[in-house]
Amino acid sequence: MTDTTIAEGLAQRIQSVTFDSLTEDALHWAKVAVLDTVGCTLAGAHEDCARIAAQAATYGTTGGDCLIFGTNRRVGPLDAALINGTAAHALDYDDCSNTLGGHPSAPVVPALFALAEMHKSSGKQFLTAYVAGWEAETRIARGVNFHHYEKGWHPTATLGVFGSAAGCAHLLGLSVEQTAKALALAATFSSGIKANFGTMTKPLHVGHAARNGMYAALLAKDGFTSFPGAFEHKQGFLNVFNGAGNYNAEAILADWAQPWDIVSPGVAIKQYPCCGSTHPAIDAMLMLVRENNLTPEAVERIDSWTHPRRLAHTNRPNPQSELDAKFSVQYCLARGLTDRRVSVEHFEGGSYLEPEVQNVLRRVHAAPHPDMKMDTFEHFGAEVKVTLKDGSTLTQKVHRPLGRGPENPLPADLLEAKFANCASRAMSANQVPALLQQLRTLEVAETLMPLSELMQQAAR
């Protein structure tokens, strides 16, 4: 028996992480995830949600030391975390975690980047804190998912705030006691409901998680108090968010870094700028299109079966906005057939209303897959059947989309092409290779300031 609380146990583990404790695989995937997140943040920097968030957050204030990605403006660290965190998730193009049931890097990287600018932290310090943050948020996820996810909480935000708090506490060099207080504060700041998916509020969830995690660490650093039993108390995080009997507290502290979660099940890098729950169906659709040279004129009907956990928020046969379209498996499949790809511009400028796509959209039918059970960790499969006008059918099944974890990684050339496409939306294209190179070698950087200054100077 022990009197150590969950927050204290996590804090001990978080502060035990050193650069030398990271395996070669953990370091590799950390660099991949950070690179991808920087690219996604630049791509989302000029989206309306990021622009409005910046305008509101900095209302009546000027100046600071921390870069707003995609601009030449600098603000205070809390504002930078909020704005860049919102931008990181604006396009729903950022990385995913099967454990988290959401996006692990977007709440963590923007907060750490701003703090690293303030404290002139090295690349090694940044990457070590990032892995500590990832491990903390996914360990908590192991204790609450997937009841937490299915209940309607947005884990990227409700659990991501702990990743931000843990990473920031590590980067600030907080004590174990201070880190535990930061985690307990983060439990109070945790928020985000799935009802707001398909609107600007979803990426704002992530911006708030990034900001509030940093705020929790800064408060704890200066002596702010919180209750160390904030997780397991009868009115604490676990009981309030999940309910009695719907969580496994022991799983949170078990097997820390054995292996690192960023390695197994690992980070998932997105191919498409839309909800990850649509990706296996998109993969299946594009395989059928390319292998059979399908055209919209030849197709009578498209049937899509996805995991019921994933269909719950992607069954949107008639999307009402560009953001709504990101969560419509029907729209994504229609776009895959008409354009033979799914890319950023397909969720911009009213593209979801294009007559050709709308015509195909009416032929797409989605349902839960009857053979995909709820009590499984593998919930990213999909099956697509295309019925042609001559009555023949074509079927393709995908168990896990390309990029969904280290066992099925996005090839390096596709990762770099995605980064270049994303970054060039906010900065001079001729500066993108230099930024890519700095991110590839982040562990040798004495500080992150050259990287920050390059983005500022190259901002459009």
Q: What is the pLDDT of residue 159?
A: 98
CA distance 53 to 244: 36
**Where does 169-319 show beta strands of DSSP type E?**
267-268, 299-306
Q: Mind listing the domains of the chain with CATH numbers?
A: 6-268 (1.10.4100.10), 276-398 (3.30.1330.120)
Reading the block at residue 238, the tokens are 């676990």
Closest CA to 177 of 9, 1, 19, 18: 9
Q: Residues in the chain with pLDDT < 50?
A: 1
Question: What pLDDT does residue 374 have?
Answer: 54
First to last CA, the chain: 58
Condensed to tens digits (0 to 9), the pLDDT of residues 133-162 reads: 999 999 999 999 989 999 999 999 999 999
Nearest to 139 by CA among 1, 318, 7: 7
Report the DSSP beta bridge partners of residue 267: 97
AA letter at 232 = E
pLDDT of residue 376: 58
Pairing of strands 96-97, 267-268: antiparallel
Taking CB atoms within 8 Å and a gap of at least 24, the contacts of 246-251 are: 246/144, 246/147, 247/143, 247/144, 247/147, 247/148, 248/142, 248/143, 249/6, 249/143, 250/143, 251/139, 251/142, 251/143
If you ran DSSP here, which 8-state letter would residue 263 be given? I
Residue type at 53 in one-letter notation = A
Closest CA to 42 of 80, 104, 79, 84: 84
Distance of CA 214 to the CA centre of its chain: 17
- Give me the pLDDT at residue 375, please: 60
Residue 276 burial (CB count, 10 A): 25
Q: Find residue 66's DSSP bridge partners.
A: 75
DSSP H helical ranges for 258-395? 279-292, 308-311, 322-325, 329-339, 355-361
**Whether the model pTM is above 0.85:** yes
Model confidence over 426-455: pLDDT tens digits?
999 999 999 999 999 999 999 999 999 999
Give pLDDT, residue 1: 37
Nearest alpha-carbon partner for 327 in 398, 254, 400, 276? 276
- What was the pLDDT predicted at 427? 95
